[in-house]
Copies of this chain bind each other. A is one copy, B any other.
């Protein structure tokens, strides 16, 4: 029998806020997930909505855990967990993705295998139900790492992945989010392109889902999926499908999935930087990820968070935003979920 203790953030004193992140988990952790970082305020959350997030994160962790416990691979576990979150309209990935300025849902995803350093990434999708599974197909069924736009969708069709009408991704909440973002833009009455594009209400703008896992053979994997930024223009691509920025896994060090203001994660090559700080400077997963999330990203005036799981089952989930939907599951099946900062 698996035992579950689902804790709300109120029961935890161990998560990262604006400052050093730390956790006192004694047991080995085999999977960590996130559902996005942003301006998540308890004051704006209903108990029902909070429970819906907790249930969704729990279901994703459970899905991955069941695979890992049966001896399945970390790749299978992360892909399956991310699919659960892609299919849930609460999160900005798959169904429930945010809208572009043109009123479309454009999806990006990436997956990486820490054992082989193989990776797959896709960007600018509008008809593939589960972008993470297309990223995996790119990794395993093509010699390429990254495919974009219509070409990537042609590959998805040839690989017999589930294709949906673009309207599948639409939710009323996200449509309203686009209208709010457009209103704010016009209210600001700015003239420069750069000012118009500057995110203001970050809660409307961001969101990503991701999973990292460690399987029984000691193989790490990372998977990330996103609908990008509300009201985005010009075919903007964030850090999610950039290997080394938003997604990275290496059996020698760590598996990482990021969420936040993607441009800063690209410029700092965040995930690979953490891996290199661990490999070349001997930092722990906590020290290395704190350096990037609590120091380097804020120094450039960016924000966001990430989940990181090292080869020994040590993990960290730092963020420098108001909140981050996140959770982990230990080897014995104990689940911990949290949303807000401490």
Contact = CB atoms under 8 A, between A and B. Distances in A.
Contact of A152 (B144, B234, B262): B234
A267 B139 CA distance: 11
Nearest to A137: B193
A48 interface: no
A146 B266 contact: yes
Contact of A148 (B149, B272, B273): B149
Query: Which has the most chain B C-beta neighbours within 10 Å: A150, A243, A248, A300?
Result: A243
A142 interface: yes
Contact of A235 (B148, B248, B263, B269): B148
Give chain A's interface residue range (CB within 8 Å of chain B). Answer: 35 or more
A266 B142 contact: no
A237 B146 contact: yes
Interface in A163-203: 193-194, 197-199
Given A235-B150, A237-B148, A266 B245 contact: no
Contacts of A118: 267
A151 interface: yes
A147 interface: yes
A233 interface: yes
Contacts of A124: 148-149
Contacts of A47: none
Interface stretch (A11-19, A56-64, A276-284, A305-313): A276-284
Query: Which has the most chain B C-beta neighbours within 10 Å: A117, A141, A244?
Result: A244
Nearest to A156: B234
A98 interface: no
Interface string A210-253: 00000000000000000000000111111000111100100000
A33 to B, nearest CB: 23
A140 to B, nearest CB: 9
A144 B244 contact: no
A148 B148 contact: yes
A172 to B, nearest CB: 25
A67 interface: no
A279 B325 CA distance: 33
Contact of A248 (B141, B151, B269): B269
Given A142-B234, A145-B263, 6 more contacts: A123-B237, A124-B148, A144-B197, A144-B263, A146-B237, A244-B272
Interface of A: 117-119, 123-124, 141-152, 154-155, 158, 193-194, 197-199, 233-238, 242-245, 248, 262-263, 266-269, 272-273, 276-277, 280-281, 300
14 contacts: A117-B268, A117-B300, A143-B197, A145-B263, A146-B266, A147-B234, A148-B148, A154-B233, A154-B234, A243-B245, A243-B266, A244-B269, A276-B276, A280-B280
